[in-house]
Amino acid sequence: MDVIRERYELSHDRIREIAKVQDVASGYKDYFKSVAEFILLVTEACDNRGKITGLEELRAENKALYADILGERYVVSYANPTYACEQFGLDMGRLLSFLYAEIRAMIPYAFERGFEELAIRMELFVEIYNAFAYAQSEAAVPNAEEIKDTLYWYVSDYTETASSRRVRSLVDTGCDFAVRIVMDSDLNDLRYLYQYGEYISPDVERMAQYLGALPDERIQLMADTYTEGYRIGFVKAHVDLGKKQTVDMHYMLGFERVVRAAIANFEQMGLKPTIYRCENTIFSKAVVRKKGYFGADANKQFLYDHKDDIALFLDKKLVNRTLEALRLAYEEVKEKAAVYAGPAVIEVFGESPFAPVSKDEVCSLNAEQQKLSAELKGASQNIVSQYINEEERSFTIIAFPVPSIGERFVEIFDETIKLNTLDYKTYERIQATIIDTLNKAAYVEIKGMNGNKTNLRVMLYPISDPGKEAIFENCVADVNIPVGEVFTTPVLEGTDGKLHVSRVFLNELEYHNLEIDFKDGMIAGYTCTNFDSEEKNRAYIKSNVLYHYDSLPMGEFAIGTNTTAYMTARKYDIANLFPILIAEKTGPHFAVGDTCYCRSEEVRVYNEDGKEVVAKDNTVSLLRKTDPSKAYFACHTDITIPYDELGSIIAYSKEGTAFPIIENGRFVLAGTEELNEPFE
């Protein structure tokens, strides 16, 4: 630690000097002065831990740290690639904007007193500054390739450090920075929110205030629903939870009262929590799907602008280095990884929808890098699965609204609790009726209406013993809360047609008129109407839905049955704000990527009637037996057609007998009539 603090202090002293005098070409003086002053602002926040005690002072400090990317300030911020490129040209602008974005990642480390993470970024800034200061003449600047090379080695050199810290925070309960905030703070005093170093918006404060005012019984009900779903997930998967010791918890700041109650529940199951931060550094990007704990987004466009900064550096050598670092990180904690039980996630919804602005100045992966990115994603998951056995873990996800959803927040919150606690026995019975019918089918046809162009044929797994086997799993309120779907792994061969949704939010990003064409179960084409350019539309989908793969299989076909959730969305006009967790229950949905049984295909799954779910594999996932590197994609994105765009779902037997399940957006199969009652 002494060596790290010495590095920190030496860099700090040098940056104080840079903030006063910039011995660089005149066009770059303001950049280095501004970034140096920002670093000093962060280090001052580090020094102030425990010294600033007033709520208004804490608010002011928090706003000052994030001010440069808030609102209109972002237009003229060096963190904005467009502005940086206007000042320094495309190549140098991208590099210096990336550098500033990486420097901005120092904020939470200052609150965690992570001096090594602070020091390595401060040293990087000094090194880049020196390259400009030591240019041959006053007007000279270093070559962009020289700067890029320095940044490349920063990424390569510290990949191992970053991987080790990230993996340890997942499985080691000794990494308890957030746990201590949750368990030791006075949660009725909003000052606790400012201990994290995350951006605290008025909405986050309002959430904490609202939950702080709820009676203990209400909080306990929310926690019990959340943790019981987790426990039942292990029971249904026939996995012994008693062999596990840790659960990692994900939540948005403001939910600490629920998290604290859930921790007590998990302790009764023999589990201790790990709670890690959702990072946004070059080593770990979480732009379209957050993992860990997180505050408000100071600027979603800023996060989106920098999500592909790795394109500045990604090559085969860096891929190999990253995979090596990940393997070493897990090897260091393999005993702890073996007793990790899986994630317990609290999602939120109600924030203003985000449709990103497409910018030519932002970094993007070229064709070769897209292949490398996909390779890295898949190979990383292969390494993780060697230390965390997917067949011996589970998860749960629950969602709640946040105050920014609107004036009727309290009503919507109460309705969401009702949704999360619907009688699962009713849905279990009705869904069993649907499954019994689908067990007779060879394929299902799904067609849209009211302008929806969906026209799909989904092939189903052929079962040999209908008395003992089932094609679809009966999903009630366990790992995916709330209740309401039956799902299967489609047969890829013969699964053809178009999937269309007029408007959908996937991983917090908005899509207009999303169309995906399938041929033999694989994505054969795709488009949307977000941008004027078809090239940009396709690039948007490839990056954020296909995750740079050339194609993905249809990994899941499901029929959502939670018409109560659908009508709640209609009543409050919040359908566009629902997370996929709830949205997928409000109509049929189709997942692209891995199956729902990814890496746990050998675990035997049974519905409540005792029938075994046998449709768990497709011809891609079966490659795990011969070529595991081609079997999985480490992604699974659900796309839902809402009932008001759904013309019909009709199952057909091999002989051509039709079994209508939904027509004109209403359930017509005998035994499912109750599902139409919310529509009335």
Q: What is the pLDDT of residue 477?
A: 64
**Percent of the chain clearing pLDDT 70 (strictly above):** 99
**Backbone phi and psi for residue 441, each to the nearest 5 degrees, phi listed first:** -100, 155
Q: Hey, CA dihedral for 52, 54, 59, 64, is it positive or negative?
A: negative
What tens digit of pLDDT does each residue of 391-422 get?
899 899 999 999 999 999 999 999 999 999 98
Cβ within 8 Å of residue 241, ≥6 positions away: 231, 234, 269, 270, 271, 341
Percent of residues, the chain, with pLDDT higher than 90: 85
Could you tell me which residue, 290 or 562, shows the higher pLDDT?
562
Q: Return contacts of 287-290, CB within 8 angstroms, 24+ apart.
A: 288/506, 288/507, 288/508, 288/509, 288/544, 289/507, 289/508, 290/250
SS3 333: coil
> Rounded CA gap, 440 and 471, in Å?
9
* Helices then strands, each counted (H, E), the chain: 21, 21
In angstroms, rounded to a whole number, what is the distance separating the alpha carbons of residues 567 and 588? 15
Least confidently predicted of 61-75, 250-264, 266-280, 623-637: 623-637
CA–CA dist 461, 488 (Å, integer): 9
- pLDDT exceeds cutoff 60 at 581: yes
Q: What does the pLDDT average to over 2-30?
A: 95
Residue 576 has what DSSP assignment?
Answer: G
Residue range 567-577, pLDDT digits in tens: 999 999 998 88
Q: What was the pLDDT predicted at 116? A: 96
For 522, half-sphere exposure in the C-beta direction (CA atoms, 13 angstrom radius) is: 10
Tell me the pLDDT band of 580, cut-offs 50, 70 and 90: confident
Say which residues have a Cβ less than 8 Å from residue 254's Cβ, sequence separation at least 6.
Answer: 193, 204, 205, 206, 207, 208, 211, 402
| pLDDT digit string, tens, across residues 76-128 | 999 999 999 999 999 999 999 999 999 999 999 999 999 999 999 999 999 99
For residues 555 and 594, the answer to whether their CB atoms sit within 8 Å is yes
Q: Please report the pLDDT score of residue 325 as a whole number.
A: 97
- Residue 278 tokens, joined: 């959702």
Distance between CA atoms of residues 354 and 505, nearest Å:
9
CA gap 572, 588 in Å, rounded: 21
Terminal CA-to-CA distance of the chain, rounded, Å? 66
**Which residue type, as a one-letter code, is found at position 228?**
E
42-75: b (≥16 Cβ within 10 Å) or e: bbebbeeeeeeeeeeebbeebeebbebbeeeebe
Contacts 24+ apart (CB under 8 A), 147-154: 147/92, 147/95, 147/96, 148/91, 148/95, 148/312, 148/313, 150/124, 151/95, 151/98, 151/99, 151/124, 151/312, 151/313, 152/312, 152/313, 152/318, 154/120, 154/124
Among 310, 252, 313, 301, residue whose Cα is nearest residue 281:
310
Q: What angle do CA 430, 431, 434 make, to 5 degrees?
A: 100
Check residue 1 and give its pLDDT: 59
Higher pLDDT, 235 or 158: 158
In this structure, are residues 561 and 431 in contact, taking their beta carbons and an 8 Å threshold?
yes
Judged against a pLDDT cut of 60, whether residue 361 lies above it is answered with: yes
| Whole-number Å distance between alpha carbons of 225 and 580 | 19
Task: Specify the pLDDT at position 488.
Answer: 98
pLDDT of residue 487: 97
**175 vs 272: CA distance, rounded Å:** 12
Distances (CA, A) of 339 to 242, 263, 488, 553: 10, 17, 29, 32
pLDDT at 474 over 90: yes
The pLDDT of residue 423: 84
Q: How far apart are CA 584 and CA 479, in angstroms?
A: 14
**Strand residues in 476-598 grouped as ranges (E):** 485-488, 491-506, 509-519, 522-527, 554-560, 588-593
Does 138 score more than 90 pLDDT? no
3-class DSSP state of 184: helix
Q: For residue 129, what is the enclosing H or E element?
A: helix 115-133
3-class secondary structure, 650? strand
Q: Strand pairing of 396-401 and 340-349?
A: parallel
**Across residues 25-34, what is the average pLDDT?**
95
Q: Provide the pairing of β-strand 646-652 with 443-448.
A: antiparallel
* Look-up of token digits 């240019």: 135
Which tokens sit at 498? 């178009």
Please give the pLDDT value at position 79: 98
**At residue 44, does pLDDT exceed 60?**
yes
Mean pLDDT of 519-544: 96
DSSP H or E stretch at residue 646:
strand 646-652
Residue 419's identity, in one-letter code, is L
DSSP 8-state secondary structure symbol assigned to residue 178: H
Average pLDDT over residues 291-317: 95
Mean residue pLDDT of the chain comes to 94
Phi, psi of 485, rounded to the nearest 5 degrees:
-165, 155
44: helix, strand or coil: helix
